[in-house]
Structures are given as C-alpha cells and as structure tokens.
Amino acid sequence: MIAEHRAMSDRVLRGNQAAFGDSVSLQVDEDEKREHGLGRKSGPLLSGTAYCISSCCMILLNKVVLSSYNFNAGISLMFYQNMISTVIVALLGLSGAVSVEKLNWKLIRIWIPVNLIFIGMLVSGMYSLKYINIAMVTILKNMTNILTAIGELYIFRRHHNQKVWTAMFFMIISAVSGGITDLSFDTAGYTWQIINCVLTASYSLTLRRVMDKAKQFTRSGSLNEVSMVLLNNLLSLPFGIFLILLFGEWEYVINVDVVRLPMFWVVATASGLLGLAISFTSMWFLHQTGPTTYSLVGSLNKIPISIAGLVLFKVPLSVPNLFSVLFGLFAGVLFARAKMSGLESNKM
C-alpha cells in the first residue's frame, strides 16, 4: 500500500497538437513537469511527517493505556494490537490493495526465531514504558544503537568510523547520568528497558540473516515489507495467547474495571491502528528517501516525543536529569549523522 508519487499522467492533448499549435503542447508539457516536480518534492515531506506523527502518537497512547489507565497487562495489549494489524493487512491482501506473499510451513518455520524475538521486544517495551517516563525511554533506547553496532562489527565484520564510536560514547554517558539523576527511577522499568534494548538489537541483526533464507521459500523469490508485517503479527498471536495464559493475564483482564470503560478501548484500538500505521508510513518514507535520511529523521523524532512525554505526563525533573535527556538526544542525532557520513564515504 506504499504510495507511488512517480506515476506520470497520460498526455491526452498530444493528438490535438495540430489544432491547438505547438505552443499549447509545450505549455502542457511544462505544466506536467512542474506538477510532477512538486510531487517528488512533497513526497518525502508528506511521508516523513506521517511517520513522525504516527510514531509520536503510538508511544504516547501506549503510555496512556499502561500508566494513566494503570493497565497491568502488557502482553494482552500487545496481543490486541497485533490482532488488529493482522486483520487489516489480511483484508488489504485479499482485496488486492497490497501484495502479500502466500505463507507456507517452511517459511513460517524459518521465521519463528525472528518472531519470538519480536514478541519479546514488544512485551519488554510495553513494561518499560509503564514504569519509566517517555523521555528516559527514548534516551535508553540509544543503547540499542550501541549493541547493534557491536553486533555488526563481530557478526558482519562491518567497521565504523571514529565519529560513530564517539557518538556511542556520548550515548553511554547520557544513559548513565540520566538514570542516576532520574527522580522517578524504577528498577523494574530500567530492567525491562535493558532487556528491550538487547532484544531490539538482536531482532535487527537476526532479521538481516533470516530474510535471505526466507526468500528461498517464497513463490516470488522475495519477501516484501507488507508480508513481513503480516508474518510478525500473525505468528505472534498463538505465542501471545500462550503467554497470557502462562502469566495469568487472562484472569486479570476479565476482572479489572478499566476494560469496562469505552474510552479505554478507543485508546487501545487507536494505538493498535497507529502501530500498523508506523509500519506502512516507515516503508513509505524509506521508499521516498533512503536509509540514511530515515535514520536521521528517526533520531530527530525523539526530540518532540521526549518533550511531549515530559509535558503531558508532568514528569518530575531536576536540572541534571533534563541536561542528561538533552545530551542524549544530541548524541542520538550525532550518531545518525556519523552513520550517514560513513555510508556516503563508502559509496565514494
């Protein structure tokens, strides 16, 4: 369902050049060039804006569900959101709006290890967001970049320049100082976030290796992003049910009063729709720009998320903690720019 802004309109006036003259034909061509030039310029802006808005709203709504409503069933929330995504993508695939690879047992078997990490990543992210304020979550997420870079070095033998390692050093300083000065420090929340960083880095590194194997078991010989979204969300449902029963969340969800509030379901459903929106807008934005711009915008996007989280949830702050948050955001942007410069130098 990725929007294509490069489609050229038919030149319907071409056959009437004799009647209207060459000047009319030239004017039509100039109008077309101007129109499509504007389309190419507005595409990255629109897709980038959609990605940033959906990402910010998703995190804020998850925080509302887990903290403001005091909902203590992160696995159940993940299950509900993934079920929404599965149903919508399946319906879009059946209607022909998007291209979805036909699933088979060999493909599923190859994908299960990735999916297990994906589930752990989502669940740990839910619980960390419940106990930690959004600003500190975004700063601690920088540790994922460090773990991924180390994994790339030892697994894929991909070396990074001095700027990347300097940015990662700044990230470590901001994370440590942020935790020390956090007035609302919560041991359980920080533990969940550390687990989330490890699993997120593992997901990124594992996905790169599994994708190549998975392509061998598809009819088309490739695996597009929409099919991966369906695979992750669909396969997570049976595992989600197992975890809900294992940890006794089912009994909690049935008896807790908050599930009887219509507004709770509105917010939970909206967060699920935004989760799917992030998948599609990120693919759209990546298609319109490239990995380097996508990475930089993702780092810049942490700034409004952090500010919104601090303001909306009235997080108690000290000056040292605020400085640590700002320093961490700066380190994230510096890291993205360092990665961009490294990629550009490799191309030359």
> Please, what's the b/e burial string for 51-76 (b: 16 or more CB within 10 A of its CB; e: otherwise)?
bbbbbbbbbbbbbbbbbebebebbbb
Contact, 60 vs 312, CB < 8 A?
yes
Q: Over the stretch 5-18, which tens digit does the pLDDT of each residue have?
A: 333 333 333 344 33
Calculate mean pLDDT across residues 91-109: 88
Torsion angle of the four alpha carbons 117, 123, 127, 128, in this order, in degrees rounded to the nearest 10: 30
Q: For the chain, what percentages of helix, strand and coil (3-state, to nearest 5) are there?
A: 80, 0, 20
Q: How many CB atoms neighbour CB 233 within 10 A?
A: 27
At 340 the pLDDT is: 66
State how far the Cα of 89 lies from the Cα of 86, in Å rounded to an integer. 5
At 17 the pLDDT is: 38
State how far the Cα of 274 lies from the Cα of 207, in Å rounded to an integer. 23
- Confidence band for 241, pLDDT divided at 50, 70 and 90: very high
Q: Over the stretch 139-186, which tens digit does the pLDDT of each residue have?
A: 888 888 888 888 878 877 777 778 878 887 888 888 888 888 777 788
Annotated domain spans of the chain: 47-346
pTM of the model: 0.76
At 295 the pLDDT is: 62
Q: Which one-letter DSSP state was computed for residue 315?
A: -
Average pLDDT, the chain: 79
Judged against a pLDDT cut of 70, whether residue 40 lies above it is answered with no
User: Is residue 100 within a helix (H) or strand (E), and if so which, with residue range?
Assistant: none
At 3 the pLDDT is: 38
